[in-house]
Amino acid sequence: MAKVVVAPVAELPPGERKLVEAGDKRIVVFNLGGEFFALSDRCPHQGGSLCAGLVSGHVESPEPGVYHYSRKGEMVRCPWHYWEFDIRTGKSWFDPKRVQVRQFPAQVESGAALVEGPYQAETFPVRVEDSYVVVEA
């Protein structure tokens, strides 16, 4: 797996997402309150771009008419047919075992570590004193 530098941490604040390309893969990286999660940008249904999807919360119900709304910002819906996926796991809500978006490891690494490589060249310079969001793809 190659490491891809997505962005300086400061440029991908909580609630934001960014699309990166790694070889022939398109990957969308989300910042959920300081934690980073990377999913394939291809919906497993028909290939819609999840990066273009609505991000919402999760609603559950113990009985008709009662709405328990939680985890705001942690579910992404494909813009084509509104299938919803858990950003933390890539799993669909309605069939979590069989319908999943591929997940990639994402973490923050220091510029100092990254300049030693190997990492995939990016369109921005990596500075030793900054931190970066990195995806292994």
Partner 1 sequence: MSPSPIFQGLRPIDCDLHPMVPSMRALTPYMDEFWADQVVERNITTLDSQSWPIKAPKTIRADWRGPNGRGAETVEQLRTQVLDRFGVETGILNPLYGVQLVLNADMAVAFTRALNDWIRAEWLDKDDRLRASIVLPLQSIEASLAEIERLAPDRRFVQVLALVMGEDPLGKRQYWPIYEACERHGLTFGIHAGSAYRHPQTSVGWTSWYLEEYAANQQGFQSQLASLVTEGALVQHPKLKVVLLESGVTWLPGFLWRLQKTWKGVRFETPWVTRPPAEILRDQIRLTVQPLDAPEAEVERALGHLRSDDMLLWASDWPHWQFDGDEAIPPGLPERLLPKILRENALATYARLHEGALA
Q: Which residues bind to partner 1, rule: CB under 8 A?
A: 56, 59-68, 77, 81-84, 92-95
CB nearer partner 1, residue 3 or residue 42:
42
Q: How far is the CB of 74 from partner 1 (least distance, A)?
A: 13
Q: How far is the CB of 17 from partner 1 (least distance, A)?
A: 20
Smallest CA-to-CA distance from 107 within 98, 116, 119, 99 is with 119
**Strand 84-86 versus strand 103-104 pairing type:** unpaired
Q: How far is the CB of 76 from partner 1 (least distance, A)?
A: 13
What value, to the nearest 5°, has the Cα angle with vertex 74 and ends 71 and 76?
135
